[in-house]
Structure 1
Amino acid sequence: MQLQSESNPALNTVTAYGHDYVEINEVSYTHPVYFAPEGEIHPWHVTTAADISAGSLREIAGLSNAKVDPMAFLDDAAVPQKPADAPEVVLIGTGLRQHLLPSHVTQALLSVGIGVEAMSTQAAARTYNILMSEGRRVVVALLPYEEAA
């Protein structure tokens, strides 16, 4: 399905999708990908919604290299802080159907104030385009339909 007739070459925009591909800036991808409005389109090393882990969510949110204070447990009031460049929300396109993610998978992002929403790939692509066009800090990870079925 064609989403937009025009795309802003400065921003990553989902321009189409189908059962075995996602098109970003008029380039087709047949494997899972994740990306933000600016920057590279990254391959995502997840093949089904069941493969999504807390670590894979931290990776797409850019938190995989975040340093953890080993003494933070001593401060009862210590609340994890969201890095300044972190996304507001991470959208997960789980294929043809929505697959909700277990709380132990999303907790790492939610605890630092990053929203996580899982929905069908079709819905995630549309939602991403809307949030991106509003200037929101959003990251989307999309599983093509065949791989997520």
Structure 2
Amino acid sequence: MKLHISNTAGINLFTAYGEGYVAVNHEKHEQNLILLPDSLRPGWSTATVETLGEADMQTLLGLGVEIVLLGTGNRLRFPAGTLMRPFAPAGIGLEVMDLQAACRTYNILASEGRQVAAALLFDR
């Protein structure tokens, strides 16, 4: 039984992922990116989880979304707490998860019409 209408026409979605890549609307990407329902920002940062800086997080804070999904590569790794701290006072949820979980969660939230961004960091 279908419980809700899913209208995904015109929004960006992850259509595949695998070792070292994701596909957005069937286009393969192998570098860090930010995906929003209405835009794609490849190359948003060259950082890894360990080298994320304040400027990287400020970019995420300025996206105008209600939730940011930070995909940290093949495994879950948390950035420094000082980098995550500004999100709550700004009213923005920051969820840290592995890259594959971020893709799946993004697709669900974007399909529901939520203001969501997936910021993906690829393993190097």
Q: TM-score, normalised by structure 2?
A: 0.85
Kindly indicate whether residue 104 of structure 2 is the aligned counterpart of residue 126 of structure 1: yes
Q: Gaps spanning 5+ residues in structure 1: where?
A: 1-6, 64-85
4+ residue runs of structure 1 moved beyond 4 angstroms?
A: none
Deviation by residue 1:28-49 (Cα, 9 ceiling, x = unmatched):
0111101211123332213311
Indicate the residue corresponding to 1:107 in structure 2. 85
SS in 1 for 2:100: helix
Paired residues for 1:1-149 under 5 Å: 8=8, 10-62=10-62, 86-144=64-122, 146-147=123-124
SS in 2 for 1:127: helix
RMSD of the alignment, in Å? 1.8
SS in 2 for 1:41: strand
Contact 1:57-1:109 at 8 Å conserved across structures: no
1:61 partner letter: L
| Distance in 1 of aligned mates of 2:84 and 2:54 | 6
| Distance in 1 of aligned mates of 2:79 and 2:56 | 12
| Distance in 2 of aligned mates of 1:50 and 1:127 | 23
Larger Rg, first or second structure (1 or 2) = 1
| Distance in 2 of aligned mates of 1:136 and 1:101 | 24
Q: Gaps spanning 5+ residues in structure 2: where?
A: 1-6
Contact 1:37-1:132 at 8 Å conserved across structures: yes
Contact 1:58-1:108 at 8 Å conserved across structures: no
State, as a whole percentage, how many aligned pairs show the same letter.
36
1:140 partner letter: A
Give the paired residue count: 118
| Distance in 2 of aligned mates of 1:89 and 1:8 | 19
